[in-house]
Chains A and B, each alone.
Chain A
Amino acid sequence: MPTYLLDKSIARAIVESLYHYEHPSAREIEALATWRRWRLERARLFVPVEAVHILMRFEQFLEVRVFLATVEPLESGRYLKRWARRLREHGFAREDAHVLALATFGTDRVGGLLGVEGLITLDQPFVNNFRNHERALRTRLSAMTHQLSAPYRDAALPIVLRLEELWP
């Protein structure tokens, strides 16, 4: 089962698209079609727990409730903050470093998962920065995890994709 972390831009896009679903823009159609495809392939979808908390304040709304029913919160696992600090040294903004570290050291509600396969975003500058530094990040992560215990020593970078890059 594939595992994806949807950043807050994707969460926002899907909720807003659900509000407009009867008269969607081209971008909203893309967001909803991607969400449907994930559902049909039974992907395990995660959203940063902080974004889930924001949305839970509005779960009385159908559009929010339906979206939340299809995702799980991804919570910060041990070493996340240490890795996020290192990411900041590669030019990632604080929130971008947090979400990328979450995709690497995040876990589910029961601590039964380490990281996800893919981090999906709408943020092109973030994707560009990741790709420009990917090789250095892999080396740096390997150096950091080398002496950690299981499961942390197996932490790995996710694939980072923009929504429209998912299915060419």
Chain B
Amino acid sequence: MLTTPTSRVQKVAALVQRLDRSELRELLRLVPRLREDPESGTDNVAHAADLMGWVREELSRYAAEAQPMHDDDRFLGGMTVAAYFVLPEAERERIWDEMYAEAIEAAPEREIKPDANISARQKHRPRNR
């Protein structure tokens, strides 16, 4: 028997309805296209505008204490801000990796209090001892 596109979608939808949260995550990982909503262009613009407004407010809270980056300011890797941000993603990552690798070499360990907070997930994990 032939399956129409609509009935195929309905079958997939019925399957998806039964997925739990972790299965939904896995599905989205396997099919990233599901994140894209071809009819939500207006929503995306509104979302981005709302987000920008929120970021602007966050930045304004610290405007008296710090200045926005300018192109000729010195930044990571001894470069100017402008030079840093035109680098490819992989090169910016490499700069961070180098600085980070040097820093973790010298990281000292410290004692943790016996009554330290332990996340709920840790507290409730199965104990097999």
Contacts and interface: CB of A to CB of B under 8 A. Distances in A.
B65 A65 contact: yes
Contacts, number: 171
Main secondary structure, interface of B, reads: helix
B114 A78 contact: no
B62 A58 contact: no
Contact of B59 (A62, A94, A155): A62
Contacts of A8: 96, 100
B62 A154 contact: no
B1 interface: no
A103 B118 CA distance: 12
A36 B52 CA distance: 11
Interface of B: 21, 24-25, 28-29, 32, 35, 47-48, 51-52, 54-56, 58-59, 61-63, 65-69, 73, 75-76, 81, 85, 92-93, 96-97, 99-101, 103-104, 107-123, 125, 128-129
Give 5 nearest A-B pairs by CB, closest first: A50-B103, A156-B122, A65-B66, A62-B66, A117-B119
